[in-house]
A and B are shown apart, each in its own frame.
Chain A
Amino acid sequence: MRQALDIALKDLRRTYRDVPALAMMFAAPLAIALLLGAAFGGSGDFSIQPIKTVVANLDRGAQTGVSGQPGAAGAGPDLIQVLGDQSLASLIDLTVVNTEAEARAAVDDGKAAVAVVQPQGLMAAAASPQTDGADFLVYRDPTSSLGPGIVTGIVRRYADGLNSARAAAGAAVELGLRSGGLTPDQLGPVAAAAAHEFAVRTDSAGLGPTLKARAPQVGVTESARDVGVTGPVLAGMMIFFMLITGSTQARTILDEQRQATLQRLFTTPTPRGVVLAGKFLSVFLIVLVQAVILLVAGRLIMGIHWGGVAPVAGLTLAGVAVAAGLGVFLLSLARTEAQATVFGTGVLLVLALLGGNFIGTADLGGWYHTVRRLTPNGWLLIGWDSTLRGGGLGDALLPIIVCLAFASLTFVAGALLFRKRLL
C-alpha cells in the first residue's frame, strides 16, 4: 500500500502547483466569508448606518417615572428617553423637535428617515384606565424600509409597555373597588401608582424598552454562544468548496486516463486496486488539507472560534469523507471529463442550495428544516452550528454519524462502479 500513498502524495504535489485550483480551494471560500462577514458586521455585533429619527413630544409636562424624574408617579419614561437611550446610540441618530409639523417636514425634506410624534395626554392615559387612549404617529420615508421599520418596532414595543401599565392600573382599580377598600377619590392615585409600579418592575427585570443590536439569530438558546456572521458563512462556504474539491480531485482519474498515465500505471507491477486506492486516498488527503487550512485561516484571519477540538475534528473528517465519497460516486456515473464536470457541478449546486451552504448555518424552519436533513451538507451545517455555539462532541455526534454513513455508501458504490469499468 506504500504505492497508494505515493500516488496520493504525487497528486497532492500536483494540486498545490495548480494556481487556479488553489484559488478555488482557498481564496474563494475565504473571500466570500470575508465579504459577507464585513457586510454584516464580521464576527461581532450587527451594525448599520444610524437611522435619522425625529421625535416631537406633544405630551411635554406629563409626569414620567423610572428613567424620568425619580420617585415621580407615571407609566415610565417618555419616547424621547427611550429612543435616546445610550444602548441605541449607534443605531438611532435622534433629533428632538417641538411640533408635529416640524417632524413631518424633516422627513419630507429628506433630513430624517422617520418621524415619531408622541401625542398629548399619552402618559396620563397610560396611568388612568378610565380615560380615552392616545395614538402615536409614525411618519416614514416611503423609500426607506429597514430604518423606519426598526424605529416603528421600538415605538410599538414602547406602546405595548404603556398599554400593559394601563392594564395593570385598570386591574388594580377594579380589584380595589370590588374589595371595597378604595374610595372614588383614591382611584386616580392608586391607578397611577399601579402603572408606575408596573413600569418599575418591568424595567428592573430587564424588560424595558431597549434594543440589543446584533446579527440575525435563528433558533438560539439562552446559553448559546453568539457566533456572529463570519463563522457560519465560512462553515457553509468551506463545506461547499470541499465538495467541489472532492469532485474536481476525483476527476483527475479521468484526466490521467486521457493523458495515458493511468494506463501506464496499470503496466507497472503496482496492482490496479492499489492504483485506484491511491487515487481515492489523494481525494481524501487533498480535501483534508484544504479543510485544515480553511479552519486555521478562519481562526487566524477572522478570529472565528470554531469550538472544541473533538467536535471540530469529527466534523472536519466527516466533511472530508463526504467530499471524497460523493466525488468518487459522481465520477463513477460519468464517462468523460466533460460529463463529470457538468453533472458533478450541477449535483453539488443543488445539494448546496438544499443543504443551506449559501445561508451559513441558519435553519429557516418549516419545510426547509426537513429538506436540509436530506443532504449531507445540511447535516454538516447542523453539526457546525452546534459546535460554533459551543456544543460538544455529543451534540455533533448525530450529524457526524449520518455523514460518515452517507460517505461510506457513496464511496463504496462509486468505487465498485469505477473498479468494474477500469479493471
Chain B
Amino acid sequence: MSFVEVDLLRKQFDPPKGTVAVDDLSFSIKQGEIYSLLGPNGAGKTTTISILSGLLRPTGGDARVGGHSILKDSASVKGLLGVVPQDIALYPDLTARENLDFWGKMYGLRGTELSRRVDSVLELIDLVDRQKERLEDYSGGMKRRVNIGAALLHQPSLLILDEPTVGIDPQSRRAILDGVKGFNRQGMTILYTTHYMEEAQELSHRIGIMDHGRMLADGTNEELVKIVGEQARVRLRVDSEDDRALAALCAVDGVSSSSVDETDGSTHLLVNDATAVVPRLFEVAARSGFRISEINVSEPNLETVFLHLTGRALRD
C-alpha cells in the first residue's frame, strides 16, 4: 500500500508565462520504503518536496500522505512529516538543546515528553556532551546532525531529506547515510533527494529520475538499469578541442548517444558493446588526427540511465 501518492502534481511560478518547475509529476512511495528523487540541480526535486511539506501550493494536481490530501488537509499531513531542509535551518545563537526544544514545541511536544524526546535525539545524533554549546560554535557536520535531529523529535511517519549531504566532509556524509538507513530500519518511510547517483543507489529501495520537472523513469535500481540494456558508458578525453573530434567519435558504429561534461571537458558515450566499440574509437581518432588521452569504461548504472534518457550527464 502506498503511503505517499503524488498525482499529476504541477507547479508553475508566475503563471501563465512563468517557469514550470514541476510538470505533471506522478509517483508513489510505499510504507517503510526509501525513495530517492535523483536529478541534476534545477530538476524540480526541491520544489516537489516543498509542495509535499506545505511550503508551496501546487498549481495543479494533488498528493496524499498517509491518506491525507496536501490540499484539503495540510495540517494533518504536516503532522506526519519530518522535513530536513537543504540549508541549516536552525538558530546559531541557541544551543543544540535549545534548538531541539524549540522545534519540538513547534510540533506540539510539551513537558516531560518533550524533554525525553530531546534527550533521545541528542543521543541519536551523538551530541549529548555538547548539547549546551551554541550552534555557531559547531562544525558543519555537527550542525547537519542537529538539522536532521530537529526533524526527528516528533517521530514522523515520513522523513523528507533534501540533499542533506551537500557540502560536507566524507565522514559526516557517511554518518548521515548510515543514519538514514537506521531510521528506515525502525520503520520510517523516507523521501530522499540527491544529485549523487551513488547515494541514490546505496540507499534507495526505489528511485525516481527527474529532469526539467518531469519524472523520466522510476523503479528499483535494477529496473532502471535495464532501460539501457547492455549499454556501457565510456568516458574519454581527447587532445583536441575541435568539435569535429566529437562528431567523429559519435559517428562510430555502436555509439548510441553522447554528451560533453562541461565541468571537466570529458566526453561521455553510451555504447552497445564496449569490447568492440573501444578499438574503433582509437582507430577513428588516429584517422582524424587527434589522440585519446584517457578512457574509462563503466558498466550500466544510473548515470548511464540518465545519459540515455536525457542525452546529458547527471552533473551537466
Contact = CB atoms under 8 A, between A and B. Distances in A.
Contact of A267 (B78, B91, B93, B94): B78
B98 interface: yes
Nearest to A11: B91
Interface string A191-218: 0000000000000000000000000000
Contact of A269 (B85, B87, B91, B108): B108
A274 to B, nearest CB: 10
Interface string B81-99: 1010101111101100010
Interface of B: 53-55, 75, 78-79, 81, 83, 85, 87-91, 93-94, 98, 102-103, 105-108, 110, 150
A14 B98 CA distance: 11
Contacts of A259: 87, 89, 91
A126 to B, nearest CB: 76
Contacts of B89: 259-261, 263-264
A17 B93 contact: yes
A271 interface: yes
A13 B85 CA distance: 24
A268 B103 contact: yes
A13, A18, A261: residue with the most chain B Cβ atoms closer than 10 Å: A261
A2 B75 CA distance: 17
A67 B294 CA distance: 116
Contacts of B53: 267
**In terms of DSSP, what is the predominant structure of the interface of chain A?**
helix
20 contacts: A2-B110, A6-B105, A10-B102, A13-B94, A13-B98, A14-B91, A18-B93, A259-B87, A259-B91, A260-B85, A264-B85, A267-B53, A267-B55, A267-B78, A268-B106, A268-B107, A269-B78, A269-B79, A269-B108, A270-B107
A224 to B, nearest CB: 46
A405 interface: no
A406 interface: no
A116 B150 CA distance: 82
A263 B79 contact: no
Contacts of A263: 55, 85, 89
B93 A6 contact: no
A3 B91 contact: no
Contacts of A2: 105, 110
Interface in A97-142: none
Contact of B106 (A14, A18, A260, A270): A270
A17 B93 CA distance: 7
A266 B102 contact: no
Given A10-B94, A260-B85, A264-B150, 6 more contacts: A18-B93, A259-B89, A264-B89, A267-B55, A268-B78, A270-B108
Q: Is the interface of B mostly helix, strand, loop or mixed?
A: loop
A146 B106 CA distance: 64
A265 B85 CA distance: 11
B245 to A, nearest CB: 45
A297 to B, nearest CB: 25
Contacts of B90: 261
A6 B55 contact: no
Contacts of A265: 106
A269 B107 contact: yes
Contacts, number: 61
Given A259-B89, A268-B107, A14 B83 contact: no
A391 B185 CA distance: 71
Contacts of B88: 260
Interface string A268-286: 1111000000000000000
Give the most central of A13, A14, A264, A270: most B CB within 10 Å. A264
Contacts of A260: 85, 87-89
A260 B150 CA distance: 14
B108 A6 contact: no
A6 B103 CA distance: 10
B94 A264 contact: no
Contact of B75 (A3, A18, A261, A271): A271
B114 to A, nearest CB: 11
A266 B150 CA distance: 14
With most chain A CB atoms within 10 A of its CB, the pick from B81, B90, B106, B150 is B106
Interface string A242-275: 0000000000000000011101111111110000
A266 B93 contact: no
Nearest to A271: B75
Interface string A10-26: 10011001100000000
A17 B94 CA distance: 9
A255 B55 CA distance: 18
B93 A264 contact: no
A361 B91 CA distance: 40
Contact of B54 (A6, A10, A13, A267): A267
A230 to B, nearest CB: 34
Nearest to A274: B106
B129 to A, nearest CB: 22
Closest 3 CB pairs of A and B: A264-B89, A260-B89, A268-B106
Contact of B94 (A3, A14, A271): A14
A6 B102 contact: yes
Contacts of B55: 263, 266-267
Contacts of A266: 54-55
A261 B89 CA distance: 5
Nearest to A15: B93
Nearest to B98: A13
B106 A3 contact: yes
Interface in A156-200: none
Nearest to A264: B89
A365 B215 CA distance: 73
A257 to B, nearest CB: 11
A222 B94 CA distance: 55
A270 B106 CA distance: 6
A18 B88 CA distance: 20
A272 to B, nearest CB: 9
A1 to B, nearest CB: 12
Interface in A367-410: none
B206 to A, nearest CB: 24
B138 to A, nearest CB: 15
Contacts of A264: 83, 85, 89, 103, 150
B263 to A, nearest CB: 27
